[in-house]
Structure 1
Amino acid sequence: MRETWFEHEMPNRESKTSTFEMGLVLRRRRLLKEQKEMEMRNLKLFVENQSIIRENEALKKKALLLHHENNALFALLHPKYSPVSTSLLQ
């Protein structure tokens, strides 16, 4: 049996539909994978940020103690020039 011209040129609809659907499935999988990777990256950055904040607070406390110690030592060495506490750290 010979195909007519319109049967020969008609695309296979099932093939195109399943190819289209497969493309959607693959796109969805890729997007979900990227979303999970982004969430993991965000979580890691959040944890790192919290660590930096804690370290910064500890360094501020240490700087304040050193500032007070410096003022006390200066007052011992130079009693008449003893500074009034004008620290920006307080």
Structure 2
Amino acid sequence: MCSAKDWLQSPPSPCNGQRPSRKSKVRVHCLIVRRRYEGTKTEDMEIKNLKLYLENRSILEQNEQLRQKAIRLRQENLALLSEFQKRFKSSQLMTPK
């Protein structure tokens, strides 16, 4: 079993108790810089994603409006065609052959 003394000991330092080398400090620095860059990269991607989402919703709304307009125009077109056919038939019946 572990005693309290074992828990209170500090963790072993890297490289068998030696000070960290310059090479490892550079590696740590590179990792920190990479994490910062990736963080901003992630934020940029989230912003782009949000912009694309909003643009997509706008396009979908416009598409729905155009669809409704097309339905109304088709109904109007069918009504005019029906009226035209009625007048054309009635004028054919009136003219003698």
Q: CA deviation at 1:8?
A: 6.0
CA distance in 2, matches of 1:15, 1:76: 91
Q: Given the alignment of the two structures, is residue 10 of structure 1 paired with residue 3 of structure 2, yes or no?
A: no
The CA deviation at 1:10 is 1.5
Q: 1:87 corresponds to which residue?
A: none
Amino acid at match of 1:33: K
RMSD: 1.9
**Rounded Cα–Cα distance in structure 1 between residues aligned with 2:33 and 2:26:** 14
User: Between Structure 1 and Structure 2, how many residues are aligned?
Assistant: 77
What TM-score results when the alignment is normalised by the length of structure 1?
A: 0.74
What SS is found at the alignment partner of 1:10?
Answer: helix
* Residue in structure 2 matched with residue 26 of structure 1 by the alignment: 44
Segments of 5+ residues of structure 1 without an aligned counterpart are: 80-90
Q: Please list every run of at least 4 consecutive aligned residues from structure 1 whose deviation after the TM superposition is greater than 3 angstroms.
A: none
Counterpart position of 2:7: none
Q: Which runs of 5+ in 2 are unaligned?
A: 1-19
2:33 partner amino acid: S
Counterpart of 2:5? none
> In percent, how many aligned pairs have the same letter?
8
Partner AA of 2:47 in structure 1: R
Q: How far apart, CA to CA, are the structure 1 residues paired with 2:93 and 2:47?
A: 69
